[in-house]
Amino acid sequence: MNAVTPDLFESPVEFQGTVPIEPGAVLLRGFAGPHATTLHADLMRVVAEAPLRHLVTPGGFRMSVAMSNCGALGWVSDRRGYRYDAIDPDSGRPWPPLPASFMQLATQAAAAAGFEGFAPDACLINRYEPGTRLSLHQDRDERDLRQPIVSVSLGIPAVFLFGGAKRADTTQRIPLGHGDVVAWGGPARLHHHGVLPLKDAWHPFMGACRINLTFRKAR
């Protein structure tokens, strides 16, 4: 039997409740757990069409986190800068559509976090391998900053850093596991965040990696 069996990663995780991080930011422990089987199947279809790849920063550095997108718009970075684009630069075609399972999870998680009526048009898919990290940054390429961010963690654990409006503000360290969702908006919308280097680990969802789905309303 294949070790990566969807049933193995679904049953143990369920929603364990809401943990406030700061005004405008909450952690929903295990919220995505019950959706994992469907998310996994839809994710496989998306990355078959728009493979994960290492983008280059405007400064010329190759990002250690591999990325792809689905939805009407995808977040891309290259020597010209960061932006949302309807076209996958690797294929020249539109990004795969946002699967219904992704949309439903994002809307439900946002509502559970107090953001009613969230309808994302962009989902950034991040794949972290052990040793990779994401440095502190703000999500500020979206047009309407009244719209929240919904960030879903799947697979091996990571430590999420959540800071303040200024890069130098102190950060909270929030351990995130499979199925955890963080949502932020309102007074926390432009707060800095990042991910510490991942430790070696293995999880039935995707082996030795962590998948993060970041949902945004870009336009």
Query: Could you list the residues that contact ligand SIN (CB under 6 A)?
Result: 124, 126, 134, 151, 160, 193, 195, 212, 214
> What's the closest the beta carbon of residue 100 comes to Fe ion, in angstroms?
24
Asked if 142 interacts with Fe ion (CB under 5 A), we say: no
Q: Nearer to Fe ion by C-beta: 139 or 142?
A: 139
Number of Cα atoms under 13 Å in the Cβ half of residue 62: 4
Stretch that binds Fe ion, among 33-41, 44-52, 133-141, 167-175 (CB under 5 A): 133-141
Q: Nearer to ligand SIN by C-beta: 11 or 138?
A: 138
Asked if 139 interacts with Fe ion (CB under 5 A), we say: yes
Give the number of residues in contact with Fe ion, rule: CB under 5 A: 1
> What's the closest the beta carbon of residue 137 comes to ligand SIN, in angstroms?
7
Give the 3-state secondary structure of the chain.
Answer: CCCCCHHHHHCCCCCCEEEEEECCEEEEECCCHHHHHHHHHHHHHHHHHCCCECCECCCCCECCCEEEEECCEEEEEECCEEEEECECCCCCCECCCCCHHHHHHHHHHHHHCCCCCCCCCEEEEEEECCCCCEEEECCCCCCCCCCCEEEEEEECCEEEEECCCCCCCCCEEEEECCCCEEEECHHHCCCCEEECCCCCCCECCCECCEEEEEEECCC
Q: Nearer to Fe ion by C-beta: 121 or 139?
A: 139
How buried is 122 (Cβ within 10 angstroms: 0-12 exposed, 13-18 middle, 19+ buried)? Answer: buried
What, of Fe ion, ligand SIN, none, does residue 195 touch, CB below 5 to 8 Å by kind? ligand SIN
What, of Fe ion, ligand SIN, none, does residue 134 touch, CB below 5 to 8 Å by kind? ligand SIN
CB 198 within 8 A of CB 131: yes
Q: Nearer to ligand SIN by C-beta: 103 or 123?
A: 123
Q: Nearer to ligand SIN by C-beta: 3 or 195?
A: 195
Stretch that binds Fe ion, among 31-39, 75-83, 135-143, 168-176 (CB under 5 A): 135-143
CB 206 within 8 A of CB 125: no
Residue number of the CB closest to ligand SIN reads: 212
Q: Nearer to Fe ion by C-beta: 13 or 124?
A: 124
Residue number of the CB closest to Fe ion reads: 139
Q: Which residues bind Fe ion (CB under 5 A)?
A: 139
